[in-house]
Amino acid sequence: MELTIKDKMTSLEKGLYLLSLFAEEPYELSVPDLVEMTGFNRTTIYRTLTSLEEAGMLIRDDMSKVYKMGPMTYHMGNVYLHHANYKKSIEAILKKISYESKESVGIAHREGNNVISIYAIENNHHLKVNDKPGTFYSMNKGCFGKCLMAYYNEDIVKSLLEEAVFEKTASKTLTTKEEILSEYEQIRKQGFVISLDEVASYICGVGIPLRSPDGRVDNVVAISFLRQGDYEEKIERLKEILFKYKEEIERYLI
């Protein structure tokens, strides 16, 4: 029997081929989907998906049993996007926000259950309050983690909170499931997020959710600053600046 091209593919080639299928709609695929699309047997599919999942290239939704791109593919893509034109456009907007606010500003993205920093513009303060791109954030504190998990699948969020144990790193760090879910509800109701003395003492922030073209909230932009003086008035001023540039940033989201 003459071997087909797929029969001659190495394990690496099969893995890369399967991974490429997740780069097109519907972006989420089950094992039966992949068997039908590729003609590979289930054993090959399972073995390859397991390897890709272990490497962080794919993640599996335990409820729907579908796979989608994982945080490592996002991380690698972000390195590529470092050289993309629209990255420069987003950074230009963030620089305008930083200039107007006189503070540090950044954008974080949720990929699966992970919240990752993707852009950071630091103001010239002596104390740096933003983390560099690629940093992961907790779901219980700070603008990035709280905002993106507030708009995530409620069942998954509750499951994650059941398993998690949170350390109190500052006076207002949220540590219980009840107060975290209450905070998420407040964020969705008001359409913005505030963080006061949650990550560390005197570190504050205000952020707003960013919607992708399909309506999902997978990104958030936030300004961070040191709490002093009339910080409540400052939060209102910073919030206005963020909403001013919201639509402009969203035009570049994918």
Of all residues in the chain, the percent with pLDDT exceeding 70 is 90
Query: Is the same domain home to 200 and 112?
Result: yes
Q: The tokens 């919240």 sit on which residue?
A: 115
Cβ neighbours around 101 below 10 Å, total:
20
pLDDT in tens, 41-94: 899 999 999 999 999 999 998 888 899 988 888 777 766 655 556 778 899 999
DSSP secondary structure letters along 180-224: HHHHHHHHHHHT-EEEESSSSTTEEEEEEEEE-TTS-EEEEEEEE
Type of residue at 134: G
Band of the pLDDT at 1, cuts 50, 70, 90?
very low
**Cβ–Cβ under 8 Å, residues 144 and 222:** yes
DSSP secondary structure letters along 213-239: TTS-EEEEEEEEEE--SSHHHHHHHHH
Type of residue at 97: I
> What's the pLDDT score for residue 125?
57
Rounded to whole angstroms, the Cα distance separating 199 from 3 reads 58
Q: What is the mean pLDDT of residues 8-21?
A: 86
**Cβ–Cβ under 8 Å, residues 223 and 97:** yes
Sheet with 136-137: strands ordered across: 136-137, 114-121, 104-111, 217-226, 203-211, 193-196
Q: What is the mean pLDDT of residues 133-162?
A: 93
Query: Is the same domain home to 57 and 162?
Result: no
> What's the pLDDT score for residue 189?
97
Rounded to whole angstroms, the Cα distance separating 80 from 65 reads 29
Query: Is the same domain home to 91 and 61?
Result: no
pLDDT in tens, 193-230: 999 999 988 899 999 999 988 889 999 999 999 988 88
pLDDT in tens, 25-35: 888 999 999 99
Cβ neighbours around 118 below 10 Å, total:
20
Rounded to whole angstroms, the Cα distance separating 98 from 76 reads 27
Phi, psi dihedral angles at 105 (to 5 degrees): -140, 150
Is position 6 within any domain? no
Query: Could you list the residue range(s) of the whole structural domain that residue 41 is in?
Result: 11-69
Q: Is the pLDDT of residue 127 over 80?
A: no
Query: Is the same domain home to 47 and 144?
Result: no
Residue where one domain finishes, among candidates 26, 48, 69: 69
Residue where one domain finishes, among candidates 54, 69, 84: 69
**Among 75-84, 176-185, 195-204, 238-247, which is the least confidently predicted range?**
75-84
pLDDT in tens, 92-101: 999 999 999 9
Domain count, the chain: 2
Q: What mean pLDDT value characterizes the chain? A: 88
pTM: 0.67
